[in-house]
Structure 1
Amino acid sequence: MKDNQGVFSNPAVVGPYVEEAPLKVPGLFDLHRMAMLLLSERAGREARILVVGAGGGMELRALAEARQEWRFAGVDPSAAMLDLARRQVGPLAGRIALIEGTVEAAPAGPFEGALCLLTLHFLDRPERLRTLRAIHDRLRPGARLVIAHHCAPGGAAAHWLARSAAFADRSGSDRDRAAASARRMAERLPLLSDAEEEDLLREAGFADVELFYAAFSFRGWVASAG
């Protein structure tokens, strides 16, 4: 997971990211495939796709392997995470431009699709709205946006975060530690309810907002640029 607070400049976080993320996010690799399929419904054979929060490179690699004609621009504020992304994409790098910065550093487009995974939950509501609007401005009309991140379903985050933390504890041996981790996440992350998430997408200019992924505290939506 990626933020703009400097956490992902920490080598202790960056180093094991690729190995640990699938253990923390239920069905992460399937989420990548679902995102590819949803984007493919509107994106053409030689589409340009914008990936926001691209550090780590796992979603870039998954999409680039599945759609060999697509080209990508990936932005992330963490240089260390972008270095990890470069290692992940390897021989696919010729179709992938990696850019250090927030979404405003991305090319103007227009792109035929956009993806933002495990990122928006780090942003407060004003910054999240600004980010979504900047993505919208870079998409062709009707192009798809796919997002997924921690949410507060029904406005109640605590017990869903605790379940996500328990999922990540593969030993299952320390419920107190999982509960403490959930409390830290609840304090640190400016989570929105599922209804607020959908309202924010519409406020940013998106339409046809649909939930497609739900896994404990994680939720994912697909929407179309108006």
Structure 2
Amino acid sequence: MAAILMAERAPANGRVLVLGAGGGLELKAFAEAQPQWTFLGVDPAPAMLQLAEATLGEHAARATLLEGYIDDAPAGPFDAAACLLTLHFMSREERRRTAAEIRRRLKPGAPLVVAHSSFPQAKGERDRWLSRYAAFAAASGVEPDKAQAAREAVASTIDLLDPRDDEAVLREAGFSGVSLFFAAFTWRGWVAYA
């Protein structure tokens, strides 16, 4: 989905910024979908970048992997960007600042695709969704005590936002055309344009 949304505006030989490159699964998927794209993958964890290089395999030559955060990324300009399963680890203000820094590195009109945990946070709603998160994990084969421990870890360590707030963060960062393209239980994905 992310590759399709980015390819709507990025040229065939586009340069793509991937913030939170992790183990390289999205880099590999993007490289397979678009054989002429080149990538800058940014992640703060050296071990994850080593895994990303291995995961990329034959596509590794098309990717530059950079240890760091958005402030360490070059100015670009990039034709597209993705930030998957990353923003929910940041406070609201850090998300806004990070999104603004991504936008600053994009060509005008370039797409940004984000996806992360985002669900209603109103009183009562947050606990209900956290319980659903744990129930889904258990239904998927995770031992119930581990699913409950994961629920508690998410509740106490991740600064989750309501989907409306996540959209507002992107607009505040200067993006336009913010549009939801994915929603599955506690996960949401948006595309927006610089």
TM class by shorter chain equals: over 0.9
Would the aligned equivalents of 1:143 and 1:224 in 2 still touch at CA under 8 Å?
Answer: yes
Please give the secondary structure, in 2, of the residue aligned with 1:91.
helix
Separation in 1 of the partners of 2:78 and 2:53? 21
Separation in 1 of the partners of 2:26 and 2:108? 23
Q: Match for residue 151 of structure 1?
A: 118
Aligned pairs for 1:28-47 within 5 A: 34-47=1-14
Would the aligned equivalents of 1:56 and 1:84 in 2 still touch at CA under 8 Å?
Answer: yes
User: What do the CA deviations read for 1:116-159 (whole angstroms, capped 9, x no partner)?
Assistant: 00000000112111110110000011110000001132543332
Q: Match for residue 46 of structure 2?
A: 79
User: What do the CA deviations read for 1:149-207 (whole angstroms, capped 9, x no partner)?
Assistant: 01132543332233233333332662x54233212201110011111111110000001
Would the aligned equivalents of 1:157 and 1:217 in 2 still touch at CA under 8 Å?
Answer: no
Which one-letter code corresponds to 2:78 in the other structure?
Answer: F
Per the TM alignment, residue 223 of structure 1 is displaced from its structure 2 partner at its CA by 0.5
> Is 1:209 matched with 2:173?
no
Please give the secondary structure, in 1, of the residue aligned with 2:179.
strand
CA RMSD across the alignment: 1.5
Would the aligned equivalents of 2:121 and 2:161 in 1 still touch at CA under 8 Å?
Answer: no
User: What do the CA deviations read for 1:43-97 (whole angstroms, capped 9, x no partner)?
Assistant: 1110000000002100000000110010000100111111111110011011100
86, 101, 106: which one aligns with 1:134: 101
Would the aligned equivalents of 1:57 and 1:85 in 2 still touch at CA under 8 Å?
Answer: yes
Separation in 2 of the partners of 1:190 and 1:90? 34
1:173/1:98 Cα in 2 relative to 1: closer, same or farther (>3 Å)? closer
Please give the secondary structure, in 1, of the residue aligned with 2:141.
coil
Please give the secondary structure, in 1, of the residue aligned with 2:74.
coil
Which one-letter code corresponds to 1:36 in the other structure?
Answer: A
Number of aligned residue pairs: 191
Runs of 4+, deviation exceeding 6 Å: none
Which one-letter code corresponds to 1:100 in the other structure?
Answer: E
Q: Which consecutive residues of structure 2, in runs of 5 or more, have no partner in the other structure?
A: none
Would the aligned equivalents of 1:162 and 1:178 in 2 still touch at CA under 8 Å?
Answer: no
Separation in 1 of the partners of 2:148 and 2:67? 34
116, 130, 147: which one aligns with 2:83: 116
Q: Match for residue 55 of structure 1?
A: 22
199, 211, 222: which one aligns with 2:168: 199
